[in-house]
Structures are given as structure tokens and as C-alpha cells.
Amino acid sequence: MFGEKIEDRVNHPLIKPQIDVIGLTYEMAQNPRYEELTTAKSHLTGEKVNRFTHIHQNTDDLIKKVQMTRMYARYCLCIQRCMAIDALNALSIITYEIDKKHKTNYFENLNNYVRFFQKEDIAATCAMTDVKGDRSLRPADQADKDLYVRVVEKREDGIVVRGAKAHTTAAVPSNEIIVMPTRALRDKDENYAVAFAVPVDAPGLKFIARSTVPREMGKMDAPFRTRWGVTETVTIFDDVFVPWDRVFMCGEWEFGGLAAELFAIYHRHSYCGCKPGVSDVLMGVAALLAEYNNVEGASHIQGKLTGIACTAEEIYACGIAGSVRGKPMGPGTYVPDITLVNIGKYIAGTHIYEEIYRVHDIAGGLAITCPSEKDYFHPEVKPYLEKYLKGKTDVPTEDRVRAFKLCEDLTAHGFAGWIMVASCHGGGSPEAQMITIYRGYDFKKRKEIAKCLAGIKKFEEFPEFEG
């Protein structure tokens, strides 16, 4: 992180705000008000567990996950524990299916790991996206064979892996890292078909991190970034050893695509919860500034606020409906509807920019020109700013300035960049969603409908409604 080595990650000023995010997930799980959302009953042990460690057993679990995620996102925008739950659910199906075909015992490994995970309420992340090198080439075809994480040695007691994952969002505050393949593989990519879990202090595992927390800003200037943080890491696997009981896939290349797709479905499902929460905050800021500027009555202001609300609820509707239409796979793990969660994520990733536009449009220029906290409280300067930054009469100038500062913090600096790019590329790019939708959608049936209506086929052959 900026050329320094971190020894004490918990108290490092650039990391602590992220630890606090994770802390929220323990705190809220104790809160009786949110118990139903934040906890679940383990299908393995029957114990009450943090929902972030749960394997979805029915559509209600899927709905609650979306709701919980939105609830958390209203506090901190990115709750960061979704990667692990999404990976574990995907692995619960993949390991089951691999075992069925290959008589391996990954599913038992996974269940044991989940038991440990639930009991200890482990905070983990999933390192998914490889660094990829030349993006036009597949893993085994890269000039440097390490540009996708791969198995370099199989030993009696375990495997040794090498490579790097990029954009690992919550490695720094985690206990564990779960690793999965990032794409469909061919037989010659066999060594790249590997899934496993390691503790963050595994020898050879290295994190090159960066944080959204600003080094030297006050709480008024950066009220959000000083409270909550995110780190991103390039995660290096410098010949990391993984014992067999923590391996969930090793060489079964034909499952690479499904693994990547299942994680993507679950993670896009997560976005259907968190992104509406982000919008809740953005529209809150915008509505507050509209009030403070006394322009709430203007119809274009109302239209722009409503526009943000619509984006939020469209995404959320995809999450809820995608949950309702969920189906069990493998051992009975519920998977949300692939089309709907992809649409939800697609809207999330492409509309965040328009939401920020709407916030800026409503806020006005002070969103980026409001003087700094140090200026504001400077004894010579304050009287001028108190006087001239006054908005609506009954609103203290300082409140208005604080609202503008939150607006700026969220939409005009590093966190804005992070939330835009994370919304766009997290869980896969918009194009990935479009392709997934195209491939999974039943256009054939629609063509049959057209044939019947056009008189090309008999009307009696009208295809059935799928429900």
C-alpha cells in the first residue's frame, strides 16, 4: 500500500474503516430487529449462523439475502462479505456435480469447510478475477503461464498454486481467501481448473493493497471515506501450499465455466441488493440538498429524484423476482434466475453514472466547489462562509455544507471512482451480462410463437407458456 509494509492491519488508519465495515456484519447479526435478515439456520448443523455463511435452502433465503444486502449497503455502500457467501454457494453445487461425475470428495471437503466457516463466523473474500494478461488469449496460451492462477505441483498432502488475482476487494480485513476459476476452460487449461481456500497468512500469499480511505482528510470533508473503507489488492500466490481438505476442484476443467457462471449468478444477485442501497444513499443526499437549496418543488428536480428511485427499484425488483423464480441445483442449493439477476446487475453497472449525474444536477456546483473543512473553521474565513453559503433560511449553514461535503465525498472523489467502476465491472462487465442473457434466453420459443402467428406453422403448435 503506497510502498509501505503493513504489520498491524487492524489499527492502520487506511484499513480500520474497512475493518469497521466487516464489524458491522457481526454487530447487526446480534441486533434482534434484524435477526431474520442477518442470520439463518444452518442446513448442516441446525445452528443459527450469520447469513453471510449460509447455503441458500429455498427462495426465501434468496429473498432475505437480497434484503439483507440492501440493508447493509445503506450504511456502508459495500458490505464486502458477499464474495464469500457467493463463492461458497457456487462451490456447494460445483463440488457436488464434480463428485457425481468423477467420484471425488470435494463436496465433503466443502461441507466441512462450511461447518468451520459457520462456527467461527469467518470473514472471507473470494479471489476470482485473474490478472489475465493478453485478454485475447486463453490461460494456457499466454506467453507467461502464470497469468491465470494454476496448480504447479500436486503433492500427497496437497497442491501448490501460483499466479495472481486482481481486484480482490476485501482480502485485507478477511480471515480467509476462497479461490475459484474465472472462466470456461479447455482440456489444455487443466491446471487452471482449481478452487480452494487458504487463510490470509498462508506462506507465499501476498497482498499489494490500496485503500479508498484518504490519508489526511477531516471527518467533515470526507464523512463517508473516513468512516467506511474498501481495499483492493493484487493478490499474489507465490507458490502457496493448499492441503487437500481445502481443495474443491483440481483439474476438472470442464467445470470451469459452470463454476465461473454460478459465482457470477450469485454475485450479480448480491448486486441486486447492494446497488439499490447505494441508490438509497445517493437519492438521500440529492433530496436533502434539494430541500436545503429550497428547490424541492421544481418538477424537473422531482423527476430526477424519481429517476434514481426507479433505478433502485428496478434493480431490486430483479433481485426479488430473481429470488422468487430461483431453483435448486446440485445438492439442493437454491440458485436465482439467471436472466433476472443478470439484468439487475446490468442496470446497476450502467446506470450508476446516470444516478451520479442526477445527484450532481440536483446539487449544483457547490458539489465540487465548497471550501474545505479547514477553511470553513478558519476563524478569519468562517464568518464569510457562514454568511455566503447560507441556503434555505431555517437550515444552518453548517448542515448545508455537511450535506454538500457528503455529496462530494460520494460522487466526486476516489469513492465515486470506486463505486462507478465496481458497479460496472464487479461480478463481470455489462457485456458479460448481455452475453449471458443472450445465451440463456429462450429465443427459440419466441420464434415458434412468431411462426404460428405468421402462418408458417399451424396455430395448434403454439408453444406452451413456461410459467
Q: Please tell me whether residue 321 binds its own copies under the rule CB under 8 A.
A: yes
- Backbone φ, ψ for residue 356 (5° rounding): -65, -40
Q: Rule CB under 8 A: which of 277-296 touch its own copies?
A: 280-281, 283-285, 287-288, 291, 293-295
Q: Please tell me whether residue 322 binds its own copies under the rule CB under 8 A.
A: yes
Q: Which residues are within 8 A (CB) of 61 and not within 5 positions of it... i.e. 6 or more apart?
A: 40, 54, 334
CB nearer to its own copies: pick between 326 and 330:
326
* Shortest distance (Å) from residue 190 CB to its own copies: 22
Q: Are 80 and 169 in contact (CB under 8 A)?
A: yes
Q: Are 271 and 427 in contact (CB under 8 A)?
A: yes
CB nearer to its own copies: pick between 259 and 283:
283
Q: Please tell me whether residue 176 binds its own copies under the rule CB under 8 A.
A: no
Query: In which element (H, E) is residue 50 found?
Result: strand 48-50
* Shortest distance (Å) from residue 329 CB to its own copies: 20
Cα 176–177–179 angle (5° rounding)? Answer: 150
Query: In which element (H, E) is residue 300 found?
Result: helix 299-324
Q: Please tell me whether residue 111 binds its own copies under the rule CB under 8 A.
A: no
Torsion of CA 223, 225, 228, 232, to 10 degrees: 170
Q: Please tell me whether residue 24 binds its own copies under the rule CB under 8 A.
A: no
Segment contacting its own copies (CB under 8 A): 10-18, 103-111, 114-122, 349-357? Answer: 349-357
Q: Rule CB under 8 A: which of 143-172 touch its own copies?
A: 143-144, 146-147, 163-164, 166-167
Q: Rule CB under 8 A: which of 376-435 touch its own copies?
A: 377-378, 381, 384-385, 387-393, 399, 402-403, 405-406, 408, 411-414, 416-418, 420-422, 424-426, 429-431, 434
Distance, in Å, from the CA atom of 89 to the CA atom of 99, rounded to the nearest integer, reads 16
The count of residues interacting with its own copies (CB under 8 A) is 153
Q: Comparing C-alpha atoms, which of 421, 414, 65 is closest to residue 273?
A: 65
Distance, in Å, from the CA atom of 110 to the CA atom of 113, rounded to the nearest integer, reads 5
Q: Rule CB under 8 A: which of 38-97 touch its own copies?
A: 63, 67, 70-71, 74-75
Q: Please tell me whether residue 374 binds its own copies under the rule CB under 8 A.
A: yes
* Shortest distance (Å) from residue 56 CB to its own copies: 17
Among 96, 343, 345, 348, binds its own copies (CB under 8 A): 343
Q: Please tell me whether residue 324 binds its own copies under the rule CB under 8 A.
A: yes
- Which residues share a beta bridge with 127? 179
CB nearer to its own copies: pick between 43 and 304:
304
SS3 347: helix
Q: Are 270 and 341 in contact (CB under 8 A)?
A: no
Q: Are 69 and 80 in contact (CB under 8 A)?
A: no
Distance, in Å, from the CA atom of 113 to the CA atom of 464, rounded to the nearest integer, reads 43
Q: Which residues are within 8 A (CB) of 270 and not within 5 positions of it... i.e. 6 or more apart?
A: 65, 66, 69, 82, 85, 86, 427
Among 101, 154, 327, 446, binds its own copies (CB under 8 A): 446
Among 184, 202, 258, 309, binds its own copies (CB under 8 A): 309
Among 47, 187, 313, 461, binds its own copies (CB under 8 A): 313
- Which residues share a beta bridge with 151? 161
Among 155, 303, 327, 461, binds its own copies (CB under 8 A): 303
Segment contacting its own copies (CB under 8 A): 88-96, 118-126, 327-335, 450-458? Answer: 450-458
Q: Please tell me whether residue 234 binds its own copies under the rule CB under 8 A.
A: yes
CB nearer to its own copies: pick between 154 and 298:
298
Q: Please tell me whether residue 216 binds its own copies under the rule CB under 8 A.
A: yes
Give Cα separations from 21 to 24, 390, 438 (angstroms).
Answer: 5, 34, 36
